[in-house]
Chain A
Amino acid sequence: MLGLEFPPINEILRWQDLTNSFNKISLIAVAAAIIGSLVFLLAGSKDAAVAPTGIRNLAETSVEFIEDSVIMQTMGKEGLPWTPFLLSLFIFILLCNSTGIVPIIQMPATARIAIPLFLSLLVWIVFIGTGLKHQKIRYFTNLLWPPGVPVALKPLVGLIEFFSTIIVRPLSLTVRLFANMLAGHILLVTFALLSEAMFEAKTHVPLLNIGGILPFFMLVFLTAFEVLVVFLQAYIFTILTAVYIGSSTHAEH
């Protein structure tokens, strides 16, 4: 038996409650909102006429990223009014994710299901609301029976479409973000624990303890990988939101 036992999942995920109704996940979410607002506040108060530098450059780059590689690729030009919503979604998720790789904090707020669930329910409401606004009540019929479906297939197609749009979409959005961040977090915890256990293990040859540096390198490498995942998950959540909203503005499928 090795001297390493993995802690139960609640131990690595559930942070101590600060008060009865406020824990560190909530703290991270609030901090993410404040940091995001602060960045854009500072960026907006700089001189707009000169070439952007520093924080304004950061903010403008993110705006252009959302406009060029999220909205223009999925919704086209008429989707540009959605930029503020998608931008705040992207920034918020990115900041909540990135606490998972910030030393000392090391806990992605999105590795708890609460925030992803709320965000995807919000997205769900938004895209259904958009569909109702653009297509009135025909949205639901268009949703269940895309134009051009033979009558004989209507019950089957309706069932499939109902499931894939109304149920699977928010579920998969939630699970994708939450499970990706949780998996990354568990990976990091595993290698940190392994590294620590190898450094502190009592062996006959103390030199062997240096072997603990191998999982430590793996930990560093995985942290670098998590940087990619953090960005990619925020991007994918945003782009899927854009796709869903774009698909409910038009009847075609």
Chain B
Amino acid sequence: MLTAVVIQSGSAFTVHLVKSDTTVPANPTAEQTTSTDAQPISAVPISAVPISAVPISAVPISAVPISGEVVKPGPSPIAPELKEVAWGGGSFVVFAVLMRFWLFPRLKKGMDARYAGIRSDHEGAEATRSAAKAEVAGYEAQLAGVKAEAAAHIDAVRQTLETERTARLAVVNAEIAEHRNAAAAENDAARLAVQSQIESAVADVSGRAIELAVGKRPDVTLVNRVVADVMGAGATR
């Protein structure tokens, strides 16, 4: 069975066809080198190489490419190689020890210092904020006191104004009532006077009319009484 092995080295690809056989490991039966400008891979038809026809010793050793990376059977891919374990493990242990005792503490110290600084700054800002809040609360309390005082003042003034107003109103009302009473008395007096005048006039006229009609002068007191009765009836009606 032929296997094409492609090895990249820089821009050049080396392809060699090897017969990967377990009995004769890594023995090239045919090889060919292609560069990027050389023939493509498939230029050599694999089936065209007669495997059995080419004796293994017929290929000169010098024909193996200079790159030297021929297929070695090597250990199984999952078997660890001692040198890799040693170098890899050694470099990790050195790295881990360096980190543990030197590099990490140095970095961490700086980080912690900065975080502590940030935290203290935060706390300072928090304290300032709470102080400002307390101040605002005090100011608001003061404001409320002043407001209450002002309201009390206003209430007191309003109270006095109210009492003053009612007192003044009472005085004025009393005056008005007095005036009204006086006017009513005057009115009554005038009416009585007018009434008596009218009565006398009516009695006079009635007496004269009766005298004219009867020829005899009626009793003045009688006439007066009759007139007064009639007018009283008219006044009450």
Contacts and interface: CB of A to CB of B under 8 A. Distances in A.
A245 interface: no
Interface stretch (B94-102, B135-143, B157-165): B94-102
Contacts of A5: 2-4, 46
Contacts, number: 176
Contacts of A59: 107
Interface residues of B, number: 54
A172 interface: no
A103 B74 CA distance: 25
A249 to B, nearest CB: 18
Contact of A117 (B72, B80, B108): B80
B15 to A, nearest CB: 10
Interface in B1-60: 2-7, 13, 20, 34, 40-43, 46-47
Contacts of B86: 21, 26
- Name A's interface SS: helix
If over half of B's interface residues share one DSSP class (helix, strand or loop), that class is named, otherwise mixed; here it is helix
A197 interface: yes
Interface string A1-20: 10111111111011010000
Given A11-B5, A197-B41, A202-B40, A37 B98 contact: yes
Nearest to A6: B3
Contact of B95 (A43, A88, A113): A88
Contacts of A96: 88
Nearest to B91: A33
A36 to B, nearest CB: 6
A196 B6 contact: yes
Interface stretch (B109-117, B145-153, B176-184): B109-117
Name which of A23, A36, A63 has the most chain B CB atoms within 10 A of its CB.
Answer: A36
Contacts of B72: 10, 14
A201 B92 contact: no
A60 B93 CA distance: 22
Contact of A115 (B6, B41, B88, B98): B88
Contacts of B94: 33
Interface string A148-183: 000000000000000000000000000000100010
Nearest to A26: B87
Contacts of B92: 29, 33, 88-89, 92, 115, 118-119, 122
Interface of A: 1, 3-11, 13-14, 16, 21-23, 25-26, 29-30, 32-34, 36-37, 40-41, 43-44, 48-49, 56, 59-60, 63, 83-85, 87-89, 91-92, 96, 109, 112-115, 117-119, 122, 178, 182, 193, 196-197, 200-202
24 contacts: A3-B46, A8-B3, A8-B20, A10-B71, A10-B74, A16-B69, A21-B86, A23-B83, A32-B91, A33-B95, A37-B99, A40-B104, A44-B103, A56-B107, A60-B107, A88-B100, A89-B96, A91-B95, A112-B77, A112-B81, A114-B88, A115-B88, A115-B89, A122-B92
